[in-house]
C-alpha cells in the first residue's frame, strides 16, 4: 500500500485512542515506530487547548489517508472517542482498527464490555450512530472473531 501524500495532507495516519488506556504505553510506542519509519502521524496532543482540540483533530482526520482507532477496554466509555470514530465513518475514511486487550466481538457490541459502556451513553442522541460506527470499523477489516485475541494481531516486542 502506498502512503503517498495527497495534495494538502499534513499527516498520513491519524491515531485515535483513549488516552488513559494506551497513551503512555502502546500508543506512544506505535507513534514513534511509525514516525521512525518515515510516516507522518497525528496523535492527540494533551497540550492542545480545548477550543482548538476539535478543529485540530478534524483537520488531521480530513487530511489523513488512514485512521487507526486503537480499541481498548474503555474506548467505548469515552464520548470523544466515539465521536471521532463516527466522524471517520461519516467521512468514509480508510479505517484500520487495532484491538488492544479487546476482541472484534467486544467492539461489535456482542459482549458486555462495549455494550455496557454504550448503555451508559443511553441519553446521547448519537448513541446509535456510535454503535454503528463501531460495528462498521470491525467489518471493514473482514476479521473473523476469535476467543484468543492474540490470533487477530500479534505484536512482537
**Predicted confidence band of residue 154 (pLDDT cuts 50, 70, 90):** very low
- The tens digit of pLDDT for each residue in 129-144 reads 999 999 999 987 765 5
The residue-averaged pLDDT of 18-47 equals 89
DSSP-derived letter for residue 12 is S
Please give the mean pLDDT across all residues of the chain: 83
What's the pLDDT at 155?
41
Q: Distance (Å, rounded) from C-alpha 126 to C-alpha 115? A: 15
For 142, other C-beta atoms within 10 Å of its C-beta total 6
Q: What is the pLDDT of residue 55?
A: 79
How many Å apart are CA 50 and CA 31, to the nearest integer?
Answer: 22
123 three-class SS: coil
∠ CA 69-138-104, rounded to 5°: 95
Where are any strands of DSSP class E within the chain? 13-16, 41-43, 66-71, 94-95, 98-99
Out of 59-63, 120-124, 146-150, least confident range: 146-150
Q: How many Cβ atoms sit within 10 Å of the Cβ of residue 12?
A: 19
Superfamily for the 13-140 domain: Toll/interleukin-1 receptor homology (TIR) domain (3.40.50.10140)
Q: Are 149 and 111 in contact (CB under 8 A)?
A: no
- pLDDT, one tens digit per residue, over 99-122 is 999 999 999 999 999 999 999 998
Q: Nearest-CA neighbor of 42 among 9, 82, 80?
A: 9
Residues recognised as catalytic: 84
pTM above 0.75, yes or no: yes
Q: Which pLDDT score is estimated for 153?
A: 47
User: What is the reported pLDDT for 11?
Assistant: 72
Amino acid at each position: 500500500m502506498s502512503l503517498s501524500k495527497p495534495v494538502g495532507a499534513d499527516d498520513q495516519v491519524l491515531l485515535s485512542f483513549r488516552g488513559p488506556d494506551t497513551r503512555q504505553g502502546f500508543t506512544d510506542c506505535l507513534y514513534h515506530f511509525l514516525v521512525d519509519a518515515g510516516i507522518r502521524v497525528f496523535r492527540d496532543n494533551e497540550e492542545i487547548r480545548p477550543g482548538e482540540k476539535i478543529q485540530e483533530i478534524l483537520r488531521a482526520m480530513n487530511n489523513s489517508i488512514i485512521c487507526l482507532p486503537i480499541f481498548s477496554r474503555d474506548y467505548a466509555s469515552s464520548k470523544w472517542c466515539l465521536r471521532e470514530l463516527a466522524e471517520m465513518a461519516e467521512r468514509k475514511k480508510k479505517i484500520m482498527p487495532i484491538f488492544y486487550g479487546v476482541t472484534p466481538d467486544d467492539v461489535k457490541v456482542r459482549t458486555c464490555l462495549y455494550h455496557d459502556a454504550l448503555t451508559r451513553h443511553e441519553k446521547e442522541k448519537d448513541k446509535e450512530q456510535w454503535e454503528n460506527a463501531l460495528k462498521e470499523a470491525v467489518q471493514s477489516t473482514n476479521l473473523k472473531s476469535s476467543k484468543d485475541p492474540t490470533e487477530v494481531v500479534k505484536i512482537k516486542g
